[in-house]
Structure 1
Amino acid sequence: MQLNPSSDQAPVSGLYIALVSIHGLIRAHDLELGRDADTGGQTKYVVDLANALARQPGVGRVDLITRLVDDERLDSGYSNKTEPLEEPGAQIVRIECGPNHYIAKEKLWEYLDTFADNLLQFFQQQQRLPDVIHSHYADAGYVATQISHLSGIPLVHTGHSLGRDKRKRLMASGMTSSEVEQKYNMRRRIEAEEQVLANANLVITSTRQEIEAQYELYDYYCPESMRVIAPGTDLSKFHPPELGEPQTQIASAIRRFLDEPEKPIILALSRPDPRKNIATLVQAYGESPELRTMANLVIVAGNRDDIREMNDGAEEVLTELLVLLDYYDLYGKLALPKKHLPSEVPAIYRMAARSCGIFINPALTEPFGLTLLESAATGLPFIATENGGPQDIVDNCEAGLLVDPLSAHDLGKAMKQLLLDGDLWRKFSANGIKNVALKYSWDAHARSYLKQIKPLVAAFKPQQYSPAIMNASRFADRLIVSDLDKTLLSNPTGLRDFCQMLREKRKQVAFGIATARRLDAVLKLLKKYRIPKPDILISSLGSQIHYGRELEVSTDWEDHVDHDWNPRAIRRILRKVPGLELQDDAEQSKFKISFHIDPSQQGGITKEKIVSLLRQEEQSVNVFVSAGQNLDITPARVSKGLALRYVAQIWGIPLERVLVAAGAGTDEDMITGKTLSVVVHNRRHEALESPVTGQNVFFATQPNALGILEATDHYHFFDEQPGVTVVEDDA
């Protein structure tokens, strides 16, 4: 990968770690936890992890990479491209992606290719590549997989929560499959998770339960590549109550709700999200005269000004809480403060601990349960959902009880048990203080983390490029790349005009062809149609790159894509599939296996089924199905889009100066992201797998090569600064 040797940054000494966490609102101080469903425990986790890693000997730089947001409704700091974190050497890096305003993670998918292109550009501007890229959640996993495919940087992933498990639980709660898909864009999320699992060098989980009960649901399930490293807790903030502590502002805000504030506190603290299941807690409390007599209920559910202006999920939850408060007549017994600062959270736990109360996490499922560690560290026993990470925390800390979150009866029974049994309360309180300090510190987490990634870093060899390919296009400052059969050909007038344009602009623009065909077949077509020899030829679906006058093959690219490629195993697996037949040897290549699909079996042989079958056999590959008749398998690092970006970065041509003429199917990743793209008129009928809204995609009114020429005018492609389609900010 071409780096920027003139960067004014000081060279990095020690490990350079890139953490990618795209959604939510992330800043160095006063995280807005609970503001919405996307700004919760994960945002705090990645900030704490970045600081903890930066403190370790041998770590030189940690970048926490997220999305840049320029939204007048939010703090202006979210639009700063960089922001230092607490520890020297750690910083937040914000990457532009999609509209300027803040949007939910479910709406980010169509912009993630642009995020990946912008992030790759950022890395190219640094003195060196990161030693490892660590993605958090599915959206970051999608981006980091693309970066790893192109650069070879070792990929580490943490899921935090998983789509298959979430979908199962949402449907168990009453939602239909179509409702889940419409609200959560679950199909794209699960496919991104499958993709990152198939390509990650290491998957870090918080609990053993994640591996055994959640990741096991995925096709590419490889527990050998997964490691449990529990998150840490900041013990300087989360500690037991101390004598003489002054009363905080949040304590006064809570007390004003309560008739008898001296009673024990049943505390719940989470964002107002339906999955947090807070309403069941209120139901359990409201239906128990004993609980209402012996304790107060305090629910700290994010911050609000006007419930009516909150997102649908938060508005739904808070409205339901107010309805239940009124239904059970909990006035004077239930506190629901409107606002709190992140810095006040430790004091809220200590207030509950001082009252001999309990902490409740009734979520439908909890990937880890960081709030349980925080409560236990302050000496506050907890009750938690039995689904997910809390199982490990209970085993390690012996500081709380597990319940079925869907049973208000079981939840009420557990609350009464802890509040009435003083010996058990004191045991859990002491155990929590001791065992959190012993087993859940951030420094211990960081040391375990570095131990796991060092073998990956040692094995990583940055790509090397031969001088010949680097010099193959010394003059051009922009590039036109076209598919062959359905795009460039079939219109003699347009092809003649296009070729004439190339000859006139030869020193200004490089010309490339990207095709599924092999080199020998392409050469015959070039000769037949008198097309100028391209500066770059991407053949066999992107598995080979040819350059220069002799169209020499790039051995550097071949070495790069020959990663986890096992063609013998793939043939063995697919030989068992009825309706598949290997194509002639003339259609096969070193990094492409091609099959015919029996027309009578077309309905039963889909891309999804083949991908699932190969992943279950631990084969990380790309699968292409064209016209329902041809099936091609390539290494995971092979695609036309990846090959195109590889060439552009070697030649130093920004993607904003690359015009791609292509369509659906095997072309699709060429026309996403930052490239300027055109779909010629005769290919507009082809359905794209993913939306292209917000991308620089122009749908031409002219067919074939005429459509490409139309696009050069549309984008003002030969101007000093080619034009782009601007994403409208419709906030």
Structure 2
Amino acid sequence: MPNEPYLPGDVLGLYFLSLSVHGLVRGTDTELGRDADTGGQVLYVMDQARILAQQPEIQLVEVLTRQVWDKRVDVSYSEPREEVADGVRIVRLPFGPRRYLRKESLWPYLPSMVDQIMRLVRARGRAPDLIHGHYADAGFVGAQVAKILGVPFIFTGHSLGRVKKVRLLDQGQPAEGLEERYRFSQRIEAEEGALETAALVIASTRQEVREQYQIYDHYQPDRMVVIPPGVDLSRFSPAAPGDGQGYGAIGQEVDRFLADPGKPLIMAMARPDERKNFGTLVKAFGENRGLREKANLLLVMGNREDIREMPGGAKRVLTETLVLIDRYDLYGSVAYPKGHGSEDVPELYRKAAASGGVFVNPALTEPFGLTLLEAAASGLPVVATNDGGPQDILEACKNGVLVDPQDSDSLGRKLLEAIDYPDRWKSWSDNGKEGVHRHFTWKAHAKRYLSEVEKALGGLPAEEGIRSLSRRRRLPRLDRILLTDIDDTLTGNSEALEAFRSALEGAGSNVGFGIATGRTLDRALEALEELGVRAPDILITATGTEIHYGEPLVVDRSWERQINYRWQPWQVRDSLLAMAGVESWDEDAGTPFRLRFRLDPETGPNLAEIRRRLRRGGFRVIATLDHETDLDVTPVRASPGLAIRFLSHKWNLPPSRILVAGDSGNDADMLSGETLGVVVGNHTPELEEIRDLPRVFFAERDHAWGVLEGIQHYQFFDDIRIPDEDNL
């Protein structure tokens, strides 16, 4: 582990983890607009971490993100840790290929990040008091870690998959291509899981709650809270008298585009994304003669070297913008600098304000609009899209006007009116500065944040409640564990079973043996006795709801306490039996944390519909389907995969030293992540979905022969061979 422990005995205040998985995250010189994944979310996460760490209750905020080694990006993103400020650090965890990947390509590797965080927590010697996940990917990771550790989880979606999918479909894009590019099914399922797990969901605007979160099955109004982000007032402020009019190198870069740099600047700043609607803005400027005569247009569209080498979406936006500039012959009236640094942004706002200009946000949709706050703090009035965050911001600050982002004529008129009336411009400028200080500071955000956390959790954790890991024991003598299913994995071929027994007996005393099965404990023990397999060191039974150890059998009561969270078995049972095609299966009636049903594939709902109905009923559960007919429902914190991660964490055994073998859909989540997965040749169709995961080996041979093939593939009884994920 590249991240050394952080003196756990010295951390006496609250310890928060903030997860921001994708993009390029660092403490200084944020590369905003570099690509679609490095935008306002990165700034939000880092500013929030800084202000939370300044609160007396909080000792440490660690921002967890992905470690990247790629010559296309700065070497700073490969540093395992970065001290940002007192009580704030970035920890970069290695998972998946070393190269930089767009967020949609990260989904197969997210279970590995869960395992990396568990390894980090063990190294720290202390669990966090709170986990906050940002966006769907961190929502998935954070929810999993929170379940394993039993700590509170907070979720902020920033943007949500259901909304984006609908918007793209409305634009006429084909559903098949959208799924391939954006992985909407995985993203939406992760968002549902995050909403289900979260003790608190933080949104930035009321519209975000009303039009985005409310359409999710796990939307719970009592867990939603609107806390707008703040603006860094130490960076964004009006130019002081006597500061000069040069505005640094970026000011000169802007002026070189303009025939008359003294005109008011109409400033827009966003990454080159189709949703940001730069084309309509250029059209509005180009078709309004009065606006062209009285103002210049400044387009700050991220950073670029060669448009031809940029991603497809950015390339289209920039090309369209340049074509429109040429069509309307706007040369000398429009500035579009190739690049800027984070230190240039405040200077650009000040320059636009000093010119008597305005800031314009013409985005088709705007979840919040942090740039509007930065402009307001700089004394620059705004003209903004009548959607999302701008509605709340202008209502509070009264520093501009809202417009229809698709009406270019109206947009042009509003921009001209904004610069045409000096008294109103001055009033808007003053209102913006005052409104930001009153309503949108990070200090106010932090105060409200801790207040809402305290209400949601029934009080903040006290120092004496610190989650120490010092009491954790370790399984004696074992440095690796082989875990396998029973039915159709060990069973089904007597010759293969005999070879497996022989190989297991010949393994060293350092090799542990475990069972992970859907059977109850009694039925699992009966099967093992019939098969002649030695007593396991660990038994995970009843679909991950029971954990027992060795001989004599000892139940893990801490696991029982953890998975009992919000478990309502009788209500869940009644809800499912009300569905057509679902019948009770009483074979395992004595299992307290698992409900079993028979599903008729012809007349019953599919698994997605079952999950949707359970969510709408307010049940926090996991529903899995095995062999297309066997339906299991367990508590939200219970599954074979979560049980294995719980064991890995509790007994300090890295996932890469746990080999897991299975054959059916119930085994899918325990085969994912940094464990070494083996799928036997006679597997059910459900497991084809995980074929491309980096640490899942699909054996050619069936039953126990396949397990032995996997043991050989990973050299599990010798020097374990870990697959090279960079070649995937």
Instruction: Using structure 2 for the length normalisation, give the TM-score.
Output: 0.95
1:377-430 per-position Cα deviation (integer Å, ceiling 9, x unaligned): 111111112221111111111112222222222322321221223332222111
Q: Secondary structure at the match of 2:685?
A: coil
Summarize the Cα distance change of 1:365–1:691 in structure 2 as closer, same or farther, 3 Å threshold. Answer: farther
1:3-60 per-position Cα deviation (integer Å, ceiling 9, x unaligned): x998756621211111000111111111111100111101111111111111111211
Partner of 2:326: 326
Instruction: Tell me by how many angstroms 1:598 deviates.
Output: 2.9
Partner of 1:81: 80
Is the contact made by 2:5 and 2:124 (CA closer than 8 Å) also made in structure 1? no
Instruction: Using structure 1 for the length normalisation, give the TM-score.
Output: 0.95
Instruction: Tell me by how many angstroms 1:445 deviates.
Output: 1.0
* Stretch moving more, 516-525 or 147-156: 516-525
1:248-304 per-position Cα deviation (integer Å, ceiling 9, x unaligned): 111111111111111111110011111111111111111222221121111000111
Q: What is the root-mean-square deviation in Å for CA atoms of aligned residues?
A: 2.1
Partner of 1:427: 427
Summarize the Cα distance change of 1:459–1:14 in structure 2 as closer, same or farther, 3 Å threshold. Answer: closer
Instruction: Tell me by how many angstroms 1:551 deviates.
Output: 2.6
Is the contact made by 1:595 and 1:631 (CA closer than 8 Å) also made in structure 2? yes
* Stretch moving more, 376-385 or 450-459: 450-459
Summarize the Cα distance change of 1:664–1:384 in structure 2 as closer, same or farther, 3 Å threshold. Answer: farther
Q: Secondary structure at the match of 2:82?
A: strand
In structure 2, distance between residues paired with 1:718 and 1:172: 55
Partner of 2:222: 224
Q: Secondary structure at the match of 1:38?
A: coil
Partner of 2:701: 702
Read off the aligned partner of 1:565 and give its amino acid letter.
Answer: W
- Counting only pairs closer than 5 Å after superposition, residues 111-510 of structure 1 correspond to structure 2 as 111-246=109-244, 247=246, 248-454=248-454, 456=457, 458=460, 470=473, 473-505=475-507, 507-510=509-512
Partner of 1:642: 642
Partner of 2:674: 674
Summarize the Cα distance change of 1:178–1:410 in structure 2 as closer, same or farther, 3 Å threshold. Answer: farther
1:137-186 per-position Cα deviation (integer Å, ceiling 9, x unaligned): 10000000110111011101111111112222222333233333232221
Is the contact made by 1:579 and 1:598 (CA closer than 8 Å) also made in structure 2? yes
Q: Secondary structure at the match of 1:600?
A: coil
Partner of 1:13: 12
Is the contact made by 2:668 and 2:690 (CA closer than 8 Å) also made in structure 1? no
In structure 2, distance between residues paired with 1:573 and 1:221: 19
Instruction: Tell me by how many angstroms 1:240 deviates.
Output: 1.4
In structure 1, distance between residues paired with 2:90 and 2:485: 39
Of 597, 600, 612, the residue aligned with 2:599 is 597
* Stretch moving more, 520-529 or 44-53: 520-529
1:315-346 per-position Cα deviation (integer Å, ceiling 9, x unaligned): 11111111111111111111111011111101
Q: Secondary structure at the match of 2:231?
A: coil
Structure 2 gaps of 5+ residues are none
* Stretch moving more, 227-236 or 700-709: 700-709
Of 514, 517, 537, the residue aligned with 1:515 is 517
* Stretch moving more, 671-680 or 568-577: 568-577
Q: Secondary structure at the match of 1:666?
A: helix
In structure 2, distance between residues paired with 1:522 and 1:113: 28
Number of paired residues? Answer: 720
Identity %: 44
* Stretch moving more, 346-355 or 655-664: 655-664
* Stretch moving more, 368-377 or 493-502: 493-502
In structure 1, distance between residues paired with 2:444 and 2:675: 43
Read off the aligned partner of 1:213 and give its amino acid letter.
Answer: E
Read off the aligned partner of 2:494 and give its amino acid letter.
Answer: P
In structure 2, distance between residues paired with 1:512 and 1:629: 26
In structure 2, distance between residues paired with 1:156 and 1:169: 27
Read off the aligned partner of 1:525 and give its amino acid letter.
Answer: A
In structure 2, distance between residues paired with 1:189 and 1:508: 40
Of 95, 98, 106, the residue aligned with 2:96 is 98
In structure 2, distance between residues paired with 1:49 and 1:689: 41
Structure 1 gaps of 5+ residues are none
Read off the aligned partner of 1:608 and give its amino acid letter.
Answer: A
- Counting only pairs closer than 5 Å after superposition, residues 6-45 of structure 1 correspond to structure 2 as 11-45=10-44
1:88-130 per-position Cα deviation (integer Å, ceiling 9, x unaligned): 1111110112111111111111110111111111111103111
In structure 2, distance between residues paired with 1:540 and 1:145: 22
In structure 2, distance between residues paired with 1:144 and 1:589: 28
Is the contact made by 1:655 and 1:676 (CA closer than 8 Å) also made in structure 2? yes
Partner of 2:725: 727
* Stretch moving more, 673-682 or 593-602: 593-602
Instruction: Tell me by how many angstroms 1:66 deviates.
Output: 0.7
Q: Secondary structure at the match of 2:212?
A: helix
Summarize the Cα distance change of 1:182–1:291 in structure 2 as closer, same or farther, 3 Å threshold. Answer: farther
In structure 1, distance between residues paired with 2:16 and 2:601: 49
In structure 2, distance between residues paired with 1:705 and 1:489: 7
Q: Secondary structure at the match of 1:271?
A: coil
Is the contact made by 1:11 and 1:127 (CA closer than 8 Å) also made in structure 2? no
In structure 2, distance between residues paired with 1:190 and 1:329: 44
Summarize the Cα distance change of 1:169–1:414 in structure 2 as closer, same or farther, 3 Å threshold. Answer: farther
Summarize the Cα distance change of 1:172–1:387 in structure 2 as closer, same or farther, 3 Å threshold. Answer: farther
1:631-662 per-position Cα deviation (integer Å, ceiling 9, x unaligned): 11110111111111222222222111111111
Read off the aligned partner of 1:384 and give its amino acid letter.
Answer: A
Is the contact made by 2:118 and 2:649 (CA closer than 8 Å) also made in structure 1? no
- Counting only pairs closer than 5 Å after superposition, residues 612-691 of structure 1 correspond to structure 2 as 612-683=612-683, 686-688=685-687, 690-691=689-690
Partner of 1:537: 539
In structure 1, distance between residues paired with 2:88 and 2:253: 35
In structure 2, distance between residues paired with 1:464 and 1:54: 21
Is the contact made by 1:257 and 1:334 (CA closer than 8 Å) also made in structure 2? yes
Read off the aligned partner of 1:551 and give its amino acid letter.
Answer: L
* Stretch moving more, 296-305 or 545-554: 545-554
Is the contact made by 2:274 and 2:317 (CA closer than 8 Å) also made in structure 1? yes
Instruction: Tell me by how many angstroms 1:69 deviates.
Output: 0.7
Is the contact made by 2:582 and 2:599 (CA closer than 8 Å) also made in structure 1? yes
Partner of 1:550: 552
Is the contact made by 1:12 and 1:127 (CA closer than 8 Å) also made in structure 2? no
Partner of 1:49: 48
